[in-house]
Amino acid sequence: MKIKAAVLWERRTPLRVEDVDIADPAPGEARVKILASGVCHSDLHHIRRETAFVPPLVLGHEGAGVVESVGEGVTRVRPGDRVIIAFGQKCGECYFCLRGQHHLCAAPGPSTVRLRHGDQALTPLLAVGSFAEYANIDARNLVPIPDEMPLDRAALIACGVTTGLGAVIKTARVEPGASVAVIGIGGVGLNVVQGAALAGAARIIAVDLVDRKLELARAFGATHTVNAGREDPVAAVQRLTGGWGADYAFEVIGHPATIRQAYDMVRKGGTAVVVGLADVADEVAIPAADLMRSGKTLVGCFYGSVSPYVDIPRYVDLYLNQRIKLDELISRRFALDEINEAFRAMDAGEVARGVVVFE
Ligand code: APR
Ligand code: ZN
Ligand code: ZN
């Protein structure tokens, strides 16, 4: 079948919307008509940086849509089902999946070619590739959602919401009354802020360079804000926590310097959580004696430690019962052929989240 897809032919060049061929779904796969796909900073990361995903690529990993057809042996979803697409592999059988750590699944990526442009195979990012009208997806990654869940807001749950809420609830397990600092108030960081509010954190300190982001953070539950361009964020967080430092700090950007800030701004015995995706070659220096004496925890958080079939329906339910905000996260909607503008707007800090919508 011929479909339109935004292709990254070469890093650091604009995406091009092309007519590409999508295969029939292989055994175990379903073909999903994509209706919405959020634009996440890690898509931009694959445009700009050298990563394991080598162009030509179809980016997009924050998608939702409707199942159009299924391959052999698929029982989990049926045509017509509305679904959120979990990215990466989720085999259900490996060492990690058996322990409920589906975000760490060790299964290899898809073995079939799903997308072609002429003779050229195109790789879908994170086994999704949702900047396209259709995507073939391993059915084990598809989470059905109820009819009343709007698909543009559902798409956000595929990455940003699940990553942000999960970092607080699943990875760090923030407890009521805690003090929390969040560095980087983008589409993901806003979800860390609202996750902290949901967990009952008493003090939520948002740190960013852009005042507009800090205002948004307040609307999502931040009690204090710090503009790191005007004030040293470590000193500010210490000042706002009685001199001790925060119980938890979340780095939601992906820079060694801000990871170090997160480590420095937690109190003794506190926990710093790395949510942002840094370059593969980046390293972070941590003072070794301080790590030992302070009893701090430095922990990584991939994909909000998600177990998709347990957590994604919960996050949908939280939205449907007005316990989390998703409407306010979507600042702009874009057509597929406006994809480069969507990346520009995100990079310029103009949006909380931009979403590509189809039809
Ligand atoms: N200090 C404070 N804030 C900063 C700094 C800094 N030094 N540098 C950038 N920021 C802010 C930006 O102003 C922006 O508000 O970080 C935010 C990043 O937001 P987005 O571009 O919307 O990125 P997002 O999609 O939220 O992803 C952030 O989380 O899961 C990861 O892969 C994702 O690495 C990415 C990170
Ligand atoms: Zn993402
Ligand atoms: Zn697995």
Q: What are the tens digits of pLDDT across the range 30-74?
A: 999 999 999 999 999 999 999 999 999 999 999 999 999 999 999
Residue 254 has pLDDT above 90, yes or no: yes
Q: Which pLDDT belongs to residue 58?
A: 98
Atom of ligand 1 nearest to the CA of 184: 16
Ligand nearest to the CA of 347: 1
Active site residue 40: yes
Q: pLDDT confidence of 156, banded at 50, 70, 90? A: very high
Residue 106 pLDDT > 90:
yes
How far does the centroid of ligand 3 lie from the alpha carbon of residue 299, in Å?
21
Buried-exposed string 283-313: b where 16+ CB fall within 10 A, e elsewhere: ebeeeeeeeeebebebeebbbbbbbbbebbb
* Per-residue pLDDT, 167: 98
The Cα 245–Cα 197 span in angstroms is 18
Say how far apart CA 34 and CA 38 lie, in whole Å: 11
With vertex at residue 317, the alpha carbon angle to CA 86 and CA 106, rounded to the nearest 5 degrees, is: 25
Residue 289's Cβ-side half-sphere holds a number of Cα atoms within 13 Å equal to 0
- In this structure, the dihedral spanned by the alpha carbons of residues 285, 195, 253 and 264, taken in order and rounded to 10 degrees, is -30
Distance CA 331, CA 250 (A): 23
pLDDT value, residue 14:
98
Domain-wise residue ranges, the chain: 2-158+326-357, 164-301
Catalytic residue among 37, 41, 42, 103: 42
Element (H, E) at 104: none
- Catalytic, 331? Answer no
CATH fold for the domain made of 164-301: Rossmann fold (3.40.50)
Closest-approaching ligand to the CA atom of 308? 3
Q: Which residues surround ligand 1 with Cβ inside 6 Å?
A: 40-42, 163, 183-189, 207-210, 213, 228, 252-254, 258, 275-277, 346, 349
Q: What is the DSSP letter of 286?
A: -
**Which pair of structure tokens corresponds to residue 325?**
């905000």
Quote the ligand 3 centre to 88 CA distance (angstroms).
Answer: 10
109-148: pLDDT as tens digits: 999 999 999 999 999 999 999 999 999 999 999 999 999 9
Q: Among residues of the chain, what percentage have pLDDT more than 70?
A: 100
- pLDDT, residue 190, reads 98
Q: Which residues contact 260 (CB under 8 A, 6 or more apart)?
A: 284, 285, 286
Mean model confidence pLDDT for the chain: 97
Using the predicted structure, report yes or no on whether residue 309 has a pLDDT greater than 90. yes
Each residue of 180-219: pLDDT tens digit?
Answer: 999 999 999 999 999 999 999 999 999 999 999 999 999 9
Record the pTM.
Answer: 0.97
Out of 37, 39, 41, 125, mutate this one to test ligand 1's pocket (max ligand atoms within 8 Å of CB): namely 41
Q: Which of 41, 46, 102, 159 is catalytic?
A: 159
**Hey, do 2-158+326-357 and 164-301 end up sharing a CATH topology, with the first three levels equal?**
no
In degrees to the nearest 10, what's the CA dihedral of 214, 218, 220, 222? 100
DSSP label at 171? I
301 part of the active site: no
Residues around ligand 2, an ion, CB closer than 5 A: 40, 42, 159
pLDDT at residue 359 in the model:
80
pLDDT at 184: 98
Q: Looking at domain 2-158+326-357, does it have CATH number 3.90.180.10?
A: yes
105 carries an active-site annotation: no
pLDDT digits (tens, 9 = 90+) for 317-334: 999 999 999 999 999 999
Does 224 participate in catalysis according to the annotation?
no
CA of 243 from ligand 2 middle (Å) equals 34
